[in-house]
Amino acid sequence: MDYKYIEQLLDRYWNCETSLEEEHILQAFFTQKDVPVRLLPYRELFIGQHLHAEEHLDADFDKRILALTEDKQEVRHENRVTAKRITRSYKLTPFFRAAACVAVVLCIGMAVQQASLHSEGSTEYIRSTPQQVAPTAIPETAYGLPDTHPIDSVLLKGNDNNL
Amino acid sequence: MKEISFRDDILPLKDKLFRLALRITLNKADAEDIVQETLIRMWNKRDEWSEMDSCEAYALTICRNLSLDLCARAGRQNVAIDEGRDEAPAERTPYEELDARQRLEIVKRLIDQLPEVQRTIMELRDVEGKSYREIGEVMHLSEDQVKVYLFRARQKVKLQFSKIEGYGL
């Protein structure tokens, strides 16, 4: 196999003349198993870089960071503002309450008025009974009283004394 | 314009940030702390995400600065020690494992001996596959400067390789 291309790339690599893509080619070449003996010493450099590129932090690190940043802020938001969907009936609740209060007041008012009217009606009935009875009573009295002292006779007696 | 999400766009950068911090600090625990601090700083800057040219470049810059600060505080130099490297995939034979470790140690030693700027540029180019422009954004350098630093780094590594080959390891 001809490794001239790789050797050329390697020379250009040392002189910083390679592009990122060409450096990826070198990386891929040197991390494979079949590397010619004369290029073997440089393999260590690319393998070392490749192994270093595998260094990473564990998943617990994410949890710790999120607890110190985003999650902390979410808790603050929860304490400060609570998002809640408001329905139309929920929005109109104060009006419903007001209407209910008005209805109760009206009912009570009507009930009181009814009660007072009812009581006034019975009084009138009580008052009106003698008035209604009177016209019939007078004749009864007029006609029912014993005619022991007729008016005309009393008047006449008085007139006689004056005379 | 797509809205940037911390969970979907910023948090997935954690492994890149970790590798960069690890390359500079050479210590896994320190690198993890730096990534955490970087992500929290990114979170605190969430109002400015939309104004950033590249959130990734910004995060990498923070990560690099924090790593350098830590190294400066600790007075740490390019000491190549990584305790986590003892873990090896189970499917390797003992011979392959030894071979892999040796390879790794050689490469690590070579790269870790480079000055920080060259080491970081090599990391961003060869491991993360960044363009010269992207590396320049992270490091606040021009593309030409990046290329010069990378050239020096690769030439040093090549020289070291030729020395090792000459000594027969």
Last residue of a domain, one of A14, A33, A52: A52
| Domains identified in chain A, total number | 2
pTM for this model (two decimals): 0.64
pLDDT reported for residue B133 = 95
- Asked if residue A92 is part of any domain, the answer here is no
pLDDT reported for residue B1 = 61
- Asked if residue A144 is part of any domain, the answer here is no
Q: Per-residue b/e over B50-82, b at no fewer than 16 CB within 10 Å?
A: eeeeebbbbbbbbbbebbeebbeeeeeeeeeeb
Say whether B19 and A68 touch across the interface (CB within 8 A): no
Say whether B129 and A14 touch across the interface (CB within 8 A): no
Distance between CA atoms of residues B153 and A25, nearest Å: 20
Q: Locate tokens 């009974």: which residue?
A: A129
Q: Which domain holds residue A42?
A: 4-52
CA–CA min distance A19, chain B (Å): 9
- Asked if residue A33 is part of any domain, the answer here is yes
- Asked if residue A106 is part of any domain, the answer here is yes
Q: Per-residue b/e over A13-44, b at no fewer than 16 CB within 10 Å?
A: bbebebeeeebeebbebbeeeebeeeeeebbb
- Asked if residue A109 is part of any domain, the answer here is yes
Tell me the CATH number for domain B1-77: 1.10.1740.10
- Asked if residue A71 is part of any domain, the answer here is no
- Asked if residue A61 is part of any domain, the answer here is no
Q: State the pLDDT confidence band at B116, using cuts at 50, 70 and 90.
A: very high
pLDDT at A51 over 90: no
CA–CA min distance B36, chain A (Å): 7
Tell me the CATH number for domain B85-169: 1.10.10.10
Domain boundaries, chain B: 1-77, 85-169
Q: What is the pLDDT of residues A118-162, one digit of tens each?
A: 877 665 555 555 555 445 545 544 454 555 555 554 454 545 554
pLDDT reported for residue B88 = 41
Contacts of B19 in chain A (CB under 8 A): 52-53, 55
pLDDT reported for residue B163 = 78
Q: What is the ipTM of this complex?
A: 0.78
